[in-house]
Amino acid sequence: MRYLDFVNLSYEPKETDVVCVFYVEPDGVSISEAAGGVAAESSIGTWTELTTIKPYVKELAAHVFSIDGNTVKIAYPIELFELGNMPNILSSISGNVFGLKTIKHLRLNDVYFPSELIRSFKGPKYGVEGVRNLLGVYDRPLVGTIIKPKLGLKTADHAQVAYEAWVGGCDIVKDDENLSSQKFNPFEDRVIKTLESRDKAQEETGERKVYMVNITAETEEMLRRADFVLNHGGEYVMVDILTCGFSALQSLREQDFNLVVHAHRAGHAAFTKNPRHGISMRVIAKISRIIGVDQLHVGTVVGKMFETREEVAENCKAIREEMKGLKPVLPVASGGLYPGLVPALIDFFGLDFVIQAGGGIHGHREGTVAGAKAMRQAVDATLRNIPLSKYAEAHRELKIALDMWGTGHQE
């Protein structure tokens, strides 16, 4: 079987097939041969005919069943994959094919998984409903912050910043993606002291508060850290899902800890930023949901990140839409956010998402407490259909925030 033998435009995908949507840019060959190369190399073929292919092996061939310009759809028989093994699946559909000489550019834009494959993974334990039940907040977006500066604060100062954010009105405080267990802020000490701050803030405000501690590490150490968080009264963990790897993420989810899993996507742009090459964030979102995260960064539309409105909408769709019984995942907007952007964020995301601001809270010139208050005030104003500038007349913290950073895109 040569590359062109894997092109069958009359093939009708089966319900059990894995279907991938690629952007394919050939290099020195036709689009059909380039597409056939992707199908061959990710299933049973290679660059030449083989004497070792038996008749029964041919039944496992992937099929290029649609070519529309540079958009190519390929169906893979489910028998090609080991169920419950995401590294195996990704090694096939997004592995060596990116290095083919016949391909100038290749991007995996979407993937559709059959029910049998999805059911072989745990999926989200909590999802949107579980997170809302944990916090007891049902009628507004959740407000969160990232400790800033992201690195350098000693443990006591880290815990104090968290306390101030919670007292000011944040529901959530999160470590940044590169805070682990450095000497200036060791993991165990940080967990204990920050959870003490959480308890103090809960008592003073009467609101539930949560701390997302970054447990990203070598897999066994990551599991140990998750257990440490659970044993010290924590309810959340954060994982850098791409740098720790989907295998480690799956190992964490298989433990079935009573912990909400917050997925940070550090490093995603290495795959997702080039529209002609790599893997879309939509694919990463689907994979993460199937494995079992409860929250996921999806972009902001109005912040400092590069993604377009359409891309962020697709990311949200991937974690919210019906998918073989999986719970919907809570989208997280993070990256260059401040109170003036809240109306635009709510207009785009609705109510079921997390507004997560770092500099837009800690950069408030009156400090973290005031920054958190300003963010909650912006949420309250938006939900009451009051322009931020009008609401700010009676809310000092919001007024200062608007003076500092403006009103973004909403007024």
**DSSP percent split of the chain into helix, strand, coil, nearest 5:** 45, 15, 40
Quick one: CA torsion of 242, 243, 247, 248, rounded to 10 degrees? -120
Q: How far apart are CA 46 and CA 39, in angstroms?
A: 10
Residue 264 a catalytic site member: yes
Q: Which of 63, 73, 148, 262 is catalytic?
A: 148
Q: Which two tokens stand for residue 95?
A: 């592995």
CA distance 62 to 39: 5
Q: Residue 362, SS3?
A: helix
Judge contact between 293 and 124, C-beta under 8 A. Answer: yes
Of the candidates 275, 237, 272, 271, the residue with the CA atom closest to the CA atom of residue 257: 237
Residue 238 has a pLDDT of 97
Q: Does domain 127-405 have CATH number 3.20.20.110?
A: yes
pLDDT number for residue 97: 94
And the tokens for 194? 């920050």
Side by side, which strands form the sheet with 71-76? 63-68, 71-76, 18-26, 103-112, 278-279
Residue 68 CB neighbours (<10 A): 8
> Is residue 148 among the annotated active site residues?
yes
Report the C-alpha dihedral over residues 184, 187, 192, 198, rounded to 10 degrees: 90
Instruction: Determine the pLDDT at residue 410.
Output: 41
Q: What is the pLDDT of residue 267?
A: 85
Cβ neighbours for 363, distance < 8 A, ≥ 6 positions apart: 148, 338, 371, 404
Catalytic, out of 264, 297, 362, 373: 264
Domain ranges for the chain, please list them: 3-118, 127-405
Sign of the C-alpha dihedral computed for residues 388, 408, 310 and 22 taken in this order: negative
Token duo for residue 390: 């009008």
Question: Which pLDDT does position 305 carry in this prediction?
Answer: 64
Concatenate the DSSP letters of all residues of 137-194 into one string: --SS-EEEEE-SSSS---HHHHHHHHHHHHHHT-SEEE--TT-SS-TTS-HHHHHHHH
Pick the CATH number of 3-118 from 3.40.50.720, 3.30.300.210, 3.30.70.150, 3.40.640.10: 3.30.70.150
Report, as ranges of residue numbers, the positions in the chain whose pLDDT lies below 50.
410-411
